[in-house]
Every structure is written in C-alpha cells, then in structure tokens.
Chains A and B, each alone.
Chain A
Amino acid sequence: MKKSIYFSLVLLGLLATGCKKGYPVDEDGLLITTRSDCYVSSFEILGADYQTVRSKAAVVDTTAQTVTVEVLFGTDLKNLYPQFTLVTDAKLDPKIPGKVDFSDLSNPKKWTVISGNRKVRKTYTVNLSVQKIN
C-alpha cells in the first residue's frame, strides 16, 4: 500500500515537472520565435499634441531599407514621436521611449529592425523632409 502511494507521488512529480517546456526570451523579456521576417510595414509620426504631422503617407522601402516622410510646414522637429509598425515578432533597436529630435535633417535618424528569431537585423533610415511653401 505504502509503495503504491510513493509510486503515485513520484509519478505526479514527474508529470508536473517532466513536460515543462522552456520558451526562449531575449534580454527584453520578449519571446524569441522562429520567424526570420524583418521589415517595417508602416510608419507614423506625431507632433507634440499627439496628432499626425505627416503631409502625406510615409513611403516605406523594404529593399532600400528607408522610410521617407514629409511633415507639415511649421512642424516642431525637435519634439516628434515616430511610430514604427513591424512584421510579427520583430522588435526595434534602439527603443523609442519618448520624443525624438529630428531637427538635424542632414543626419537622418536610423533604427534597426530585429527579426523574431533575433538572427536578422536590418537598419532603416528615416528620411524626413518638411513641406515647403510653393
């Protein structure tokens, strides 16, 4: 009788721990998956009032790895909030914790997209221009 109880307990212990599967996570605590896709799917940019400052849709070129966006005349370039939409499981480096200064137009900002499996990295250049008075 006692033997069967011990046996049952051991079995339960095995059941509880034996099938535990470890999911790999990266340094940010994000799940590392098998996806190798690595691109920006869309781009938005907001002003200090959290309203879009785009004068037209941003153009994302996944081959050239560029984002080209024109912002409205009179946009405060020092206080902008870029928003990237990425392919599933990908992440952005560096992170964007708040506003970004785009005022140095001669030095476009760059962000790197990292794939879900964390093995592919593609650096995108954001070419920002300001709407001109005709």
Chain B
Amino acid sequence: MKNKYILYVLGLFVLVFTGCKEKEYETPTSPSGLQNDLIKRSLGPSIVGMDIEFAYAMALLPEKGKLASATVTASIAGATGTYMDNKFYTTTSGGLDVGTVVGTPSVNSGNTTTVTYYADISAATLRYFYRVPEEARGKEVTFTFSVTSTNGETNSYKSGPHPIRRMDIKKNLIVTDPTACYLSIADMAVYDAAFAAANPSKIDLVYLYRAITGVTFNHALVAPTASVEYRPGITLPAGLTNKTKLIKAWDIRDQQLVNTTGLATSVFVDDIDLEQRNFTDAPDFAINTRAESGVWVETADGKYRAYIYVNSVVNTATSKQMTIGIKRLTIK
C-alpha cells in the first residue's frame, strides 16, 4: 500500500514537471506540393447580372517550381463581364488595395476562365468575378478552381452549389416630379407622361412631391387608382388603372440596393421575402417616403412583387426627385 502511494506521488511529480514544458518555437515547414485555397468574397443572394466574387489562393515552394496557370470552370458559363483578375492585391496603410500584375489578362472560353502566370510567380491570390448569366436564373452554379505549376502538378478546389435567385435588380433609377414620374415595375423603368399615355397598362406607380401645410406629405409613391387626396394636383393620362398595392417599410437597407458607400448594412431582400409578403388589405398609396426607407409592392395583376429602396431624396426649389433601387420577383 505504501509503495503504491509513493509510486503514485512520484508519477504525479513527473506529470507536473513535464506536462507544462514549453516547446521551443519551430518555424513551420511549408507543405510540399502545389497548395490552393478559396474564399467567397461577395455576400447576399446571387442575382442575374450581378457578380459573385471569389479569391483563389495558390502557392508552391519556389524550389519546386512556379505557378503556370489558374483556371475556373463554372457549371454554367458566365455572362460577358466574367473574368479573373491577373493581379494579386496588397493593402496599403490607408486601406487601399494595390494590385501587382502576375499574369496575362484572363481569357474566357466556354465555361472556363484562365489566367496564365508570368514566369517567376510562386504564390498569388487571384480574384474571380462571375457575372451571373440569364441561363442561371433559378438554378445552381458550381465552380471548380484549378491551378497548374511548371513542374506538372495540379490542384483544384470546388465551390458550390451556389443557388441563383429568380429576382431581378435595378439600381439608381431617378423618379422626378413632374417630368419623369411614372414607374413601371414590369419594365423596372421610369417614364414620362407621354409614354404613360401611350402605354397606360405598364404604369404601376406615380411619384410626386408635395409640401402641404399642416400635414406631412413630402415624397410619395401612389398607384394610379389612389384617391385624389393622395395625388393632389396630378392629372393622370387616360387609361391608367393599375391598383398597385404598397406596404411601407423602414430599416430594410438592402446592401445590394444601397448606393452610398458610407452606409454600412448587412440586410438583403431575398426571393423568399417577396414570396411570403402578405399584401392582403395593403393600400394603394405610400405617403412621406423618406431616404433609406422602402416600399413593398405588388402589381395589380399579381404578376410581380418588388421591394423599392429609396436611396436619396431631393426637394429643392427646382428639383423634386428620388433615387431608387428595385428588387423584383416574377410571381406568376
């Protein structure tokens, strides 16, 4: 019993004096062979016409060889504007990205985008911008990033599937009272009175600004069917009959619709937000729409639902206008 106790205590001493021994720092050994890694830089829903951005890192030990080429293969070919940057970037103390060219400009061929490296590059991180094509709407896209080196090695990294949303996006539309105040959700465009008169079925909303004593009216979006008191002083072109439904929103500063760099936001309106919005009992007018507010919209025929974000408003003596962005989903 006594011996056992002594052995136990000795064992404990050994553990105490050896368990916390600090190891000397050793410089990590670089893994041999061609290495690669990937991050997706862009956030939010992927939408047709917008870019999905990745950063693809590649490296091998200089004595083993050099980088030869980097290739991205998308399951659906990217639209015009798809490219891989032929620079890697470092950030200055002022926060600016400074690029260093490491290869030839990328070449698109079918589903693939390739950068061929210059002769002496052992490591680089290249950015890839996939412009989402119309063919990808409502589908999923996968990407295979691959790298080859001069010693014949290859490595690759798969990313996805990335779902592409069904919605459309349009930014920086300017509605002006009274010269260009007719908004079409179907076209995601702003028109003047002459166009509205010629194409009344296309007009879903009318923009107006009024400064009325005693009430807060200001900037407004109203359906052509809205009561006259909500569109004072406007004589609509004949035939405008769309009873568009509107729901005012606040604090939904969609990152993809915001056009000011100073406004930090991590909110994204997605397909599901538009699909699940309940427009029962929604009115056909939205008075006092302010900058950074929004309006949920359903067209009279129920074909489209949209979120209109108000980027900025102007109400000077000579100009009454709003800059807006639209995310629109075809419902039926």
User: Taking beta carbons and an 8 Å cutoff, which residues of A are in contact with B?
Assistant: 47-51, 55, 72-74, 76, 78-79, 101, 131-134
Are A134 and B214 in touch, CB under 8 angstroms? yes
Most buried by A among B212, B214, B247, B248: B248
Distance of B171 from chain A, by nearest CB (Å): 22
Distance of A108 from chain B, by nearest CB (Å): 19
> Is B249 an interface position by the 8 A CB rule?
yes
Subset of 26 A-B contacts with CB under 8 Å: A47-B248, A48-B247, A48-B282, A49-B247, A49-B249, A51-B250, A72-B287, A72-B288, A73-B212, A73-B215, A73-B217, A73-B287, A74-B216, A74-B217, A78-B281, A78-B283, A79-B247, A79-B282, A131-B214, A131-B215, A133-B212, A133-B215, A133-B229, A134-B213, A134-B214, A134-B215
Complex contacts, B281 vs chain A, CB 8 Å = 78-79, 101
Distance of A77 from chain B, by nearest CB (Å): 9
Kindly report which residue of chain B lies nearest to residue A47, judged by CB atoms.
Answer: B248
Distance of A103 from chain B, by nearest CB (Å): 9
Instruction: Select which of B215, B250, B282 is within 8 A of A49 by beta carbon.
Output: B250
Complex contacts, B283 vs chain A, CB 8 Å = 76, 78-79
Give bound CA distance, A15 to B52, whole Å: 67
In B255-303, the 8 Å CB interface with A consists of 281-283, 285, 287-288, 293
Interface size class of B (residues with CB under 8 A): 20 to 34
Apart from A49-B249, A51-B248, A72-B287, list 14 A-B contacts with CB within 8 A: A48-B249, A48-B282, A55-B216, A72-B216, A73-B215, A73-B216, A74-B215, A76-B248, A76-B282, A76-B283, A131-B214, A133-B214, A133-B215, A134-B213
Kindly report which residue of chain A lies nearest to residue B220, judged by CB atoms.
Answer: A74
Complex contacts, A73 vs chain B, CB 8 Å = 212, 215-217, 287
In B221-259, the 8 Å CB interface with A consists of 229-230, 247-251
Give bound CA distance, A51 to B248, whole Å: 10
Give bound CA distance, A72 to B218, whole Å: 12
Kindly report which residue of chain A lies nearest to residue B215, judged by CB atoms.
Answer: A73
Give bound CA distance, A134 to B216, whole Å: 12
Kindly report which residue of chain B lies nearest to residue A46, judged by CB atoms.
Answer: B250
Give bound CA distance, A78 to B217, whole Å: 19
Complex contacts, B214 vs chain A, CB 8 Å = 131-134
Give bound CA distance, A47 to B246, whole Å: 13
Distance of B34 from chain A, by nearest CB (Å): 54
Give bound CA distance, A74 to B227, whole Å: 10
Complex contacts, B216 vs chain A, CB 8 Å = 55, 72-74
Distance of B264 from chain A, by nearest CB (Å): 21
Complex contacts, A72 vs chain B, CB 8 Å = 215-216, 287-288
Most buried by A among B212, B251, B283: B283
Give bound CA distance, A55 to B213, whole Å: 13
Which 4 pairs, one residue from A and one from B, show the smallest C-beta to C-beta distance? A74-B287, A73-B215, A134-B214, A49-B250
Give bound CA distance, A95 to B181, whole Å: 43
Distance of B283 from chain A, by nearest CB (Å): 4
B 78-90 to A, binary, CB cutoff 8 A, 1 in contact else 0 = 0000000000000
Give bound CA distance, A55 to B217, whole Å: 12
Are B293 and A49 in touch, CB under 8 angstroms? yes
Give bound CA distance, A133 to B215, whole Å: 6
Complex contacts, B282 vs chain A, CB 8 Å = 48, 76, 79
Distance of B16 from chain A, by nearest CB (Å): 42
Give bound CA distance, A133 to B230, whole Å: 11
Complex contacts, B251 vs chain A, CB 8 Å = 49-50
Kindly report which residue of chain A lies nearest to residue B218, judged by CB atoms.
Answer: A74
Give bound CA distance, A50 to B285, whole Å: 17
Complex contacts, B285 vs chain A, CB 8 Å = 74
Kindly report which residue of chain A lies nearest to residue B222, judged by CB atoms.
Answer: A74
Distance of B310 from chain A, by nearest CB (Å): 12
Most buried by B among A48, A74, A78: A74
Kindly report which residue of chain B lies nearest to residue A76, judged by CB atoms.
Answer: B283
Complex contacts, A55 vs chain B, CB 8 Å = 216
Are A74 and B250 in touch, CB under 8 angstroms? no
Give bound CA distance, A51 to B288, whole Å: 12
Give bound CA distance, A49 to B294, whole Å: 9
